[in-house]
Amino acid sequence: MDGGKQPGPDQPISIELVSERVIVRIGNAVIADSSNALVLQEANYAPVFYIPREDVLMTELTLSSTSTHCPYKGNACYFTTRRDRATDIAWSYEDPFDATARIKGYVAFYANRVDEIELISRSL
């Protein structure tokens, strides 16, 4: 997808491979477990972990009616868990703008809407 505002000095965005394994839990259930997650750092916001869909238990998530637009990333869709939780616990950019194309096919979780986002060192 073309378009969107370009990150720059006033709104920097970086996307890097996470060196740790990322695990997302709701209660005792592991909803996501990935050694291939990305971390997106945008301006002064908290870093956000994006996990490849193949590492997310998508059968535990249902698409909600919520959508938002980011001028730098594009249109986001949101997911609610099938478990007894708050709605819109995760989001995804299905067709992100060129500047953030790396997050296509990835899902991000709100840290305050899941029980834990754990980082585990991969070094022995």
Per-residue pLDDT of the chain (124 residues; tens, 9 = 90+): 467 888 877 888 999 999 999 999 998 899 999 999 999 999 999 999 999 999 999 999 999 999 999 999 999 999 999 876 678 999 999 999 999 999 999 999 999 999 999 999 976 5
Domains in the chain: boundaries: 13-120
Q: What is the CA radius of gyration of the chain?
A: 14
Per-residue pLDDT at 88 = 95
Model pLDDT, residue 86: 73
Q: What class has domain 13-120?
A: mainly beta
8-14 contacts at long range (C-beta below 8 A, 24 or more positions apart)? 11/42, 11/43, 11/72, 12/41, 12/42, 12/43, 13/40, 13/41, 13/42, 13/43, 13/72, 13/73, 13/99, 13/100, 14/40, 14/41
